[in-house]
C-alpha cells in the first residue's frame, strides 16, 4: 500500500476542465425557454413602501412580475434569525433591498423594464454609523439596534488598573471590503409547484440554500434540490447571499413556469451583496514595568448592516481573536454587532478576525512604544505558551512556539538589519522605508460548539472498477477542495490520485458535510474523508477480500467481489469532537476551537511622504498550519490572502453615499494588481495536528488576518506616524503626516 500524494503538488482535479474551457459556470448553462430575472431595489435606505408603479413604454404583459405577496411559504431568508425578507413587504431597511422581481426572455428589455419600475417610498430617518446605532438615535432593529453582544471575562480586570505601571488606550477602525470573486453571483431555477424547486448556481454552501428554499416555498427537503455549478471564487461572499438570489430566481420560475436565470453584473454584485463588516475597536491595556500584559479591556463593535445574516458568528470569531496569541491573566471583552441601514454585511475570509486583529496588532505596537520596548521584545514577553489559557479559558495543549515563528520571520525578512539601516537612511529622505510585523492566529473550524451542531457527514462509495467516489457538500470554489480530498482519500486507501472521483455537490445525492467556510474544509471535512476511506478499507478487510499490503489492482478485485456478493460498497463518517473539547455557549467559556494556525507576517514598505504613495516592497509570511497537504495550493492561499489584505490595508475603500456603495465599479473601487503586490515569500512550519487529516489544520482565512496590521506597522516604522484605520488613503496619510498646504517639498 503506498502513501505518496499528501505533501505533493499534484495537478488540480478540475484544472484541465478549467483551462480548456470545459468547466461550466452558471452563466454557461442555458435551458430551453429560459427567462432572465432582474431585481428592483428600494434605493431608499429606510422607509415605508406606499406604492409600486410600472412606467410607460414597456410591454408589461410579457413580463413575470413577483412581489412579496407571491411568496408561497415564509418571506424570510432562513439563516440565524428570520428577519431578512426575500422581498420587502411594507418596510425597507436598506437601499439595495429587493422589492420587485421581473423576468423576461430578453435581457436588454428586462434592464429597461427594471429602470421603469417606480417605487413610492416614504422615507424614514436612516442610521449609517456605528455611533448613531449604539446611541439609539433611531431604533431601526429590534429593541436596541443590537443583533448580538458577547462578553468574555477572565480573571479580574477591574483590579489591575491600580497596580499597572502603564495603561495604554487606543481606538482602531476598519472599513468595509468587497470580496471581488472573479465570477459574480448567479443562479438558475426550475420550479414547478407539483414537483418542487431545483436550483443551479455559484455557491459555497448548498445546504444553506436548501434550508432557505424549503422555508421560502414551504416544501419538504426532498422537494428542494440545490446543485453547485463550477464556482469562480467565494471568499465568504457566496456563503449566505446565494440563498437570496436562488430564492429570487425560484420565485420567478415558480410564477412563470419557466427556468429563470439571474446573473448579477459587477456593479450590482458589488453594491447589493454582502461585504466585510466595518468595525471599531477600543483597547485599554495594563502593563507592568517588565513588559508583561496585566489586563486587557477590549470593546469590539461591528456594523452588521440592516439584517442579522451571519453577524452573530462573525462577531463571535472577532471577539475570540481580539486578544491575539498572547497570554494575559485578566481580560474583559465586550462585543456588539449593531444594525445600520446599509446592505447587510456578511461573511468574508477571516470572518471578524481581520478586524479585531488589526486593532490588536496596531495597539500592541503603541503599548510597546509606551513602555520603551521594541515591538518584537514586547511580544516575546507575552506570547502564549503551551499550558496557558486563552481569554475563554482554553488551555493550549499543542506545542505552540510563537517565539520561534517570530524569530524565523525576522531572520527571513532581514528585519533587524533593515530596521537599523532604514532608521539611518530615512532621515532627510522624502521616501522613507520601514518594517512592520504582526503576530496572530486563526482558529480552524466553526467556533465553540458549532461543529457539534453541524454534525457533518461525508460518504465514500467504491465502484466495481475500484474507483472511489467522495460524496460531500463541500464545494470547490477555486481553493482546491477536490484536489485535497482526492489526495487524502487516495493516501488513506493506498490508491492512485486518478482513482478518486469527487461528486458535484448536489443536495439530492451528497450528504451534508457542512458549509465551505471557516477554514474547516481541509481540517474537519478532510478528516471525515480520511475516516470514511479507512472505514471503506475496514469493510473490505473485514469481508476477507482485501489482503494486507494490497495493490491498487488488489483493491479493484476486492471491490468487485464485495459488490457482487454484498451490493453497494459505501462508508460514511460523521463529525466527532476531539476528546477533551468543551465549550459552554451560555458562559462563552471553554475551547473556542479545536486548534489554531499560528503566524508571523513581516512587511517592508516605502512611503513617499510628499506624494503619499505607499509601496509594499517585500512580504514574508511564516505560519504553522499542521501538515501541508498540497504545497502549491497552500502557498497560493497564503499569497492570495496577503494580496487581498494589501487591498484591505491600502486600496479598497468602500465609499457610502446615503447607504449605497458609491464606488461599485472596478474603475473606482480599486484593488491591488500584479504591479502593486510585492513578492510574497511563504514559509510553513508543519506540526501535525492529531485531529486533522494526516495532521493538517485549516489555513484559508489565516493570511487575511495579519497582513494589514503588518503593513500599517511598517508605515509607522517608516514615518513615525501612527495610523489607526484602514484603508490608508492618500488623504488620510497626509493628515497623519500633518503636511500643510504651505509645506514645501524637502530634499
Partner 1 sequence: MQAFEYAHPRSMTEALPLLGSRWGETEILAGGTDLLSLMKNYVVTPKRVVNIKGLRELRGIRGTPEGIYIGALVTLEELRTSQPMHEYPALAQAAAGVTSPQIRNMGTVGGDLCQRPRCWYFRSGFGLLARDESGRSLVPQGENRYHAILGNDGPAYFVNPSSLAPALIALGAKARLDGQNGERYVALAEFFVIPKSDAERENVLQPNEILTHVIIPEGAWELSSATYEVRQKEALDWPLATAAVALKMQAGKVASARIVLGHVAPIPWPAPEAEKSLAGQPINEATAARAGEAAVQGAKPLSGNRYKVQLARVAVKRALLAAARPRSIGAKGGV
Which letter, b or e, does each residue of 140-176 get, where b requires 16 or more Cβ atoms within 10 Å of its Cβ? bbeeebbbbbbebbbbebeebeeebeebbebebbbbb
Regarding 731 and contact with partner 1 (CB under 8 A), the answer is yes
Cis peptide before 727 (omega within 30 of 0): yes
Regarding 120 and contact with partner 1 (CB under 8 A), the answer is no
Alpha-helical runs (H) found in 81-229: 107-116, 130-134, 160-163, 206-217
- Selected binder of partner 1 within 76, 651, 684, 691 (CB under 8 A): 651
- Selected binder of partner 1 within 164, 370, 412, 610 (CB under 8 A): 610
State which of positions 611-630 bind partner 1 (CB under 8 A): 611-613
Regarding 267 and contact with partner 1 (CB under 8 A), the answer is yes
- Letters for 290-319 (x = contact with partner 1 by CB under 8 A, - = none) are ------------------------------
Regarding 358 and contact with partner 1 (CB under 8 A), the answer is no
- Selected binder of partner 1 within 164, 396, 563, 729 (CB under 8 A): 729
- Selected binder of partner 1 within 108, 143, 290, 548 (CB under 8 A): 108
- Selected binder of partner 1 within 70, 111, 414, 686 (CB under 8 A): 111
- Cβ atoms of 66 and 255 within 8 Å: the answer is yes
- Selected binder of partner 1 within 194, 553, 657, 738 (CB under 8 A): 657
**At CB < 8 A and 24+ separation, what contacts does 674-680 make?**
676/615, 676/616, 676/646, 676/650, 676/651, 677/616, 677/642, 677/643, 677/646, 678/604, 678/615, 678/616, 678/617, 678/618, 678/619, 679/618, 679/619, 680/619, 680/621, 680/638, 680/639, 680/642, 680/643
Instruction: State how far the Cα of 532 lies from the Cα of 527, in Å rounded to an integer.
Output: 9
Identify which of residues 108 and 579 has a Cβ nearer to partner 1 in the complex.
108
Query: Which runs of E-coded beta strand occur in 28-93?
Result: 35-41, 47-54, 64-66, 91-92
Angle (deg, nearest 10), helices 311-321 and 353-371:
30
Identify which of residues 10 and 650 has a Cβ nearer to partner 1 in the complex.
650
Q: How far is the CB of 670 from partner 1 (least distance, A)?
A: 5
Q: How far is the CB of 611 from partner 1 (least distance, A)?
A: 5
Q: How far is the CB of 664 from partner 1 (least distance, A)?
A: 8
Regarding 721 and contact with partner 1 (CB under 8 A), the answer is no
Q: How far is the CB of 672 from partner 1 (least distance, A)?
A: 7
Identify which of residues 373 and 734 has a Cβ nearer to partner 1 in the complex.
734
Distances (CA, A) of 397 to 195, 251, 324, 411, 523: 52, 50, 17, 27, 17
Identify which of residues 670 and 687 has a Cβ nearer to partner 1 in the complex.
670
SS3 237: coil
State which of positions 537-596 bind partner 1 (CB under 8 A): none
The residue range among 347-355, 580-588, 662-670, 693-701 that interacts with partner 1, by the rule CB under 8 A, is 662-670
Regarding 734 and contact with partner 1 (CB under 8 A), the answer is yes
Distances (CA, A) of 121 to 48, 89, 288, 573: 5, 12, 58, 52
Identify which of residues 55 and 218 has a Cβ nearer to partner 1 in the complex.
55
Instruction: State how far the Cα of 179 lies from the Cα of 477, in Å rounded to an integer.
Output: 13
Regarding 56 and contact with partner 1 (CB under 8 A), the answer is no
Residues that bind partner 1 (CB under 8 A): 108, 111-112, 115, 265, 267, 610-613, 650-651, 655, 657, 662-663, 665-668, 670, 672-676, 729-731, 734, 739, 741, 743-745
Amino acid at each position: 500500500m503506498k502513501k505518496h500524494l499528501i505533501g505533493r503538488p499534484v495537478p488540480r482535479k478540475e484544472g484541465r476542465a478549467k483551462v480548456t474551457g470545459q468547466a461550466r459556470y452558471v452563466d454557461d448553462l442555458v435551458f430551453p425557454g429560459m427567462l432572465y430575472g432582474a431585481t428592483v431595489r428600494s434605493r431608499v435606505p429606510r422607509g415605508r413602501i406606499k406604492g409600486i408603479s410600472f412606467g410607460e413604454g414597456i410591454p408589461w404583459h410579457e413580463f413575470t412580475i413577483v412581489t412579496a405577496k407571491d411568496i408561497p411559504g415564509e418571506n424570510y431568508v432562513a439563516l440565524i434569525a428570520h428577519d431578512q425578507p426575500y422581498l420587502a413587504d411594507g418596510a425597507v431597511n436598506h437601499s439595495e433591498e429587493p422589492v420587485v422581481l421581473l423576468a423576461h426572455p430578453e435581457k436588454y428589455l428586462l434592464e429597461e423594464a427594471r429602470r421603469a419600475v417606480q417605487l413610492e417610498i416614504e422615507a424614514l430617518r436612516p442610521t449609517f454609523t456605528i455611533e448613531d446605532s449604539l446611541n439609539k438615535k433611531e431604533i431601526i432593529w429590534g429593541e436596541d439596534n443590537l443583533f448580538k453582544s458577547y462578553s468574555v471575562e477572565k480573571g479580574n480586570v477591574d483590579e489591575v488598573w491600580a497596580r499597572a505601571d502603564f495603561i495604554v488606550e487606543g481606538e482602531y477602525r476598519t472599513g468595509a471590503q468587497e470580496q471581488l470573486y472573479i465570477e459574480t453571483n448567479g443562479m438558475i431555477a426550475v420550479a414547478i409547484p407539483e414537483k418542487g424547486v431545483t436550483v443551479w448556481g455559484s455557491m459555497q454552501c448548498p445546504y444553506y440554500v436548501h434550508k432557505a428554499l424549503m422555508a421560502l416555498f414551504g416544501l419538504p427537503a426532498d422537494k428542494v434540490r440545490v446543485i453547485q455549478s463550477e464556482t469562480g471564487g467565494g471568499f465568504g461572499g457566496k456563503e449566505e447571499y446565494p440563498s437570496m438570489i436562488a430564492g429570487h430566481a425560484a420565485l420567478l420560475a415558480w410564477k412563470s413556469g419557466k427556468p429563470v436565470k439571474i446573473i448579477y453584473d459587477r456593479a450590482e454584485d458589488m453594491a447589493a451583496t454582502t461585504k466585510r463588516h466595518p468595525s471599531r475597536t477600543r483597547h485599554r491595556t495594563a502593563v507592568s514595568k517588565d513588559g508583561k500584559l496585566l489586563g486587557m479591556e477590549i470593546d469590539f463593535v461591528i456594523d452588521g448592516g440592516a439584517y442579522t445574516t451571519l453577524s452573530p458568528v462573525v462577531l463571535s470569531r472577532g471577539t475570540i481573536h481580539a486578544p491575539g496569541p498572547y497570554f494575559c491573566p485578566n481580560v474583559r471583552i465586550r462585543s456588539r454587532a449593531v444594525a445600520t441601514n446599509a446592505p447587510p454585511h456578511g461573511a468574508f475570509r477571516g470572518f471578524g478576525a481581520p478586524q479585531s486583529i488589526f486593532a490588536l496588532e496596531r495597539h500592541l505596537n503603541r503599548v510597546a512604544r509606551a513602555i520603551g520596548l521594541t515591538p518584537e521584545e514586547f511580544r516575546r514577553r507575552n506570547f502564549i505558551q503551551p499550558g496557558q489559557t486563552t481569554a475563554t479559558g482554553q488551555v493550549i495543549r499543542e506545542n505552540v512556539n510563537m517565539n520561534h515563528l517570530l524569530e524565523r520571520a525576522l531572520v527571513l525578512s532581514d528585519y533587524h538589519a533593515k530596521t537599523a539601516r532604514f532608521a539611518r537612511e530615512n532621515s532627510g529622505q522624502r521616501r522613507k522605508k520601514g518594517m512592520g510585523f504582526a503576530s496572530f492566529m486563526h482558529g480552524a473550524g466553526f467556533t465553540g460548539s458549532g461543529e457539534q451542531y453541524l454534525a457533518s457527514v461525508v460518504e465514500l462509495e467504491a465502484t466495481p472498477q475500484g474507483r472511489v467516489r467522495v460524496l460531500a457538500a463541500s464545494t470547490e470554489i477555486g481553493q482546491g477542495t477536490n484536489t485535497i480530498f482526492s489526495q487524502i482519500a487516495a493516501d488513506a486507501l493506498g490508491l492512485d490520485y486518478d482513482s478518486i472521483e469527487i461528486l458535484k455537490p448536489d443536495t439530492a445525492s451528497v450528504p451534508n458535510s457542512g458549509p465551505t467556510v471557516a477554514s474547516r474544509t481541509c481540517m474537519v471535512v478532510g478528516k471525515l474523508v480520511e475516516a470514511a476511506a479507512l472505514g471503506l478499507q475496514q469493510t473490505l478487510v473485514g469481508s476477507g477480500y482485501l489482503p494486507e499490503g494490497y495493490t491498487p489492482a488488489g483493491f479493484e478485485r476486492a471491490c468487485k467481489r464485495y459488490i457482487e456478493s454484498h451490493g453497494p460498497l459505501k462508508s460514511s463518517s460523521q463529525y466527532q469532537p476531539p476528546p477533551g473539547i468543551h465549550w459552554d455557549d451560555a458562559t462563552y467559556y471553554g475551547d473556542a476551537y479545536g486548534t489554531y494556525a499560528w503566524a508571523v507576517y513581516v512587511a517592508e514598505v516605502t512611503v513617499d511622504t510628499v506624494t503619499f504613495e505607499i509601496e509594499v516592497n517585500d512580504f514574508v509570511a511564516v505560519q504553522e498550519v499542521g501538515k501541508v497537504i498540497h504545497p502549491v495550493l497552500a502557498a497560493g492561499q497564503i499569497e492570495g490572502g496577503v494580496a487581498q489584505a494589501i487591498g484591505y490595508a491600502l486600496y479598497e475603500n468602500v465609499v457610502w453615499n446615503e447607504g449605497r456603495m458609491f464606488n461599485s465599479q472596478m474603475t473606482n473601487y480599486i484593488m491591488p494588481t500584479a504591479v502593486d503586490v510585492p513578492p510574497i515569500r511563504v514559509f510553513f512550519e508543519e506540526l501535525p495536528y492529531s485531529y486533522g487529516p494526516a495532521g493538517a489544520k485549516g489555513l484559508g482565512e489565516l493570511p487575511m488576518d495579519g497582513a494589514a496590521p503588518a503593513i500599517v506597522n511598517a508605515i509607522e516604522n517608516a514615518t513615525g506616524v501612527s495610523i489607526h484605520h484602514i484603508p490608508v488613503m492618500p488623504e488620510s496619510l497626509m493628515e497623519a503626516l500633518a503636511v500643510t498646504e504651505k509645506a514645501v517639498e524637502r530634499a
